[in-house]
Amino acid sequence: MNRPLWRQPEFWTTVAAVVVLSAGHYAAPTHDPFWHDLFRRLYYLPIILAGFRYGLGGGLATSALVSLLFLPHVLMTRAMLPRQASEAVFEIPLYLVVGVVTGILSDRQRKANESLRRAERLKTLGEMAAGMAHEVKNPLAAIRSSAQILAGHVTGKDAEFAGIVVSEVDRLNQVVNEFLDYARPAPLRREPVRLSAVLDSCLKLLAPVIREKGVKVRTVYPEAEAAVSADPAQLRQMFLNLILNAVQATEGQCGIEVSVAQAGRETRARVKDNGPGIPADKLKTVLEPFYTTKPGGTGLGLPIAQRIVAEHGGRLLLESRPGEGTSATVILPGG
Ligand SMILES: Nc1ncnc2c1ncn2[C@@H]1O[C@H](COP(=O)(O)OP(=O)(O)OP(=O)(O)O)[C@@H](O)[C@H]1O
Ligand SMILES: [Mg+2]
């Protein structure tokens, strides 16, 4: 699908079919309705082919081209075969309808196939995760405890190196855990939750990082906040990722704003920063697993957040203006 049009055989087949059919149609004896009817109907073939191959755009473009080529022919034969010519005019809207319907159906099918492929990819990730939990986490635990024992027996630079081993093992463990969270999500344990309470607990957990970066945090919560039915542990994991991203983006300049708002039957929690922002062409990419621009990042923070919010029947809205900042809004039903 990424090849240019002129290098795709289906494109040339469609063009050739339209040209050959039009040539045949114009060359057919004017007084013989058999050939005219035949060519008129055969025009449906390239229209359907283009609709299937190129979706709505292809179906519409080919049916419009066929209509344009067909119209002069109708006008030319009007004098000789007035009845057939007036009948033939009705073929034009039919060409357009067939092109549009085939295109829409094929676009829809393509989208369904894409989400199926995504679901299969996730299933494979889940299976890989099961193997990884066993193959990676157990040796990591052994390395960590050995390094800790060694650290107790050595001093100076050697103790420092043993400490590095322990902290790097912890980092690896965190990567594996994040991967497991993404690939094999735990079932939801719903209970009434106030989003501001979850956000406050995340800010408390992240207080050392926030202080270290010198980032100012402003919270804006409604006076009377209704509870939503959600899994507090999973929400915490989601907001930790979003707040951490905001803190990492602000790098000590300005600050971040964490807010909750009730909007009709929905509750919205927003984490807003005034960091460098995300370029418009990357707004979708950042939600793909493993996309990261950070040296130690796994690129799983946003995909995990998106999965958690989707499991709660909500949606994650990511808005950003490069140079001005980013806001991540979690929209949950209820409240
Ligand atoms: N608030 C933000 N401001 C600017 N860029 C952001 C923001 N949040 C996310 N991004 C961009 O999206 C990328 C993916 O984010 P994500 O949270 O999925 O992974 P990560 O932060 O790189 O790694 P991890 O969260 O696993 O430590 C980031 O590397 C960064 O480029
Ligand atoms: Mg992150």
Closest-approaching ligand to the CA atom of 251: 1
Closest-approaching ligand to the CA atom of 300: 1
Q: What are the φ/ψ torsions at residue 261 (nearest 5 degrees)?
A: -145, 145
Name residue, tokens 């034009």. Answer: 92
In angstroms, what is the span from residue 20 Cα to ligand 2's centroid? 57
Mean pLDDT computed over 230-242: 94
Cα 7 from Cα 10, distance rounded (Å):
9
Q: Which atom of ligand 1 is nearest to the CA of 175?
A: 26
Residue 8: helix, strand or coil by DSSP?
coil
Q: Determine whether the shortest distance from the Cβ of 292 to ligand 1 is under 6 A.
A: yes
Band (pLDDT 50/70/90 cuts) for residue 235 is very high
> Who has greater pLDDT, 80 or 113?
113
pLDDT given at position 59: 96
- Cβ partners under 8 Å of residue 170, min gap 6: 144
Handedness of CA 270, 274, 280, 286 (dihedral sign): negative
Cα 284 from Cα 267, distance rounded (Å):
23
In angstroms, what is the span from residue 68 Cα to ligand 1's centroid? 51
pLDDT given at position 80: 73
Ligand 1 pocket test, candidate residues 237, 244, 245, most atoms within 8 A of CB: 245
Tokens at residue 238, please?
């989601």
What the chain holds in terms of domains, given with CATH numbers, is: 5-115 (no CATH), 124-183 (1.10.287), 191-333 (3.30.565.10)
Residue nearest to atom 9 of ligand 1 (CA): 245
Judge contact between 66 and 46, C-beta under 8 A. yes
Residue nearest to atom 12 of ligand 1 (CA): 286
- Whole-number average pLDDT of the chain: 89
Examine the pLDDT at 1 and tell me if it is beyond 70: no
Cα 311 from Cα 230, distance rounded (Å):
10
pLDDT given at position 253: 62
Please give the sequence-ordered ranges of beta strands (E in DSSP) within the chain, or none if there are none: 191-193, 216-220, 228-230, 255-263, 266-273, 315-321, 325-333
pLDDT given at position 76: 82
Cα 254 from Cα 252, distance rounded (Å):
6
Tokens at residue 76, please?
């030319």
In angstroms, what is the span from residue 193 Cα to ligand 2's centroid? 24
Tokens at residue 16, please?
């050739």
Band (pLDDT 50/70/90 cuts) for residue 274 is very high
Q: Which atom of ligand 1 is nearest to the CA of 298?
A: 26
Cα 27 from Cα 102, distance rounded (Å):
29
Per-residue pLDDT reduced to its tens digit, 11-45: 999 999 999 999 998 898 877 778 888 998 999 99
Residue nearest to atom 29 of ligand 1 (CA): 292
pLDDT given at position 252: 65
Tokens at residue 314, please?
């909500």
Judge contact between 77 and 30, C-beta under 8 A. yes
- Cβ partners under 8 Å of residue 207, min gap 6: none
Q: Determine whether the shortest distance from the Cβ of 181 to ligand 1 is under 6 A.
A: no
- Cβ partners under 8 Å of residue 227, min gap 6: 192, 193, 194, 335
Band (pLDDT 50/70/90 cuts) for residue 335 is low
**Which of 42, 70, 61 lies closest to 102 in space, CA to CA?**
61
pLDDT given at position 3: 80
Cα angle at 53 between 50 and 58, to 5 degrees?
45
Q: Determine whether the shortest distance from the Cβ of 238 to ligand 1 is under 6 A.
A: no
Judge contact between 123 and 116, C-beta under 8 A. no
Cα 42 from Cα 20, distance rounded (Å):
11
| Percentage of the chain exceeding pLDDT 70 | 98
Closest-approaching ligand to the CA atom of 294: 1
Closest-approaching ligand to the CA atom of 298: 1
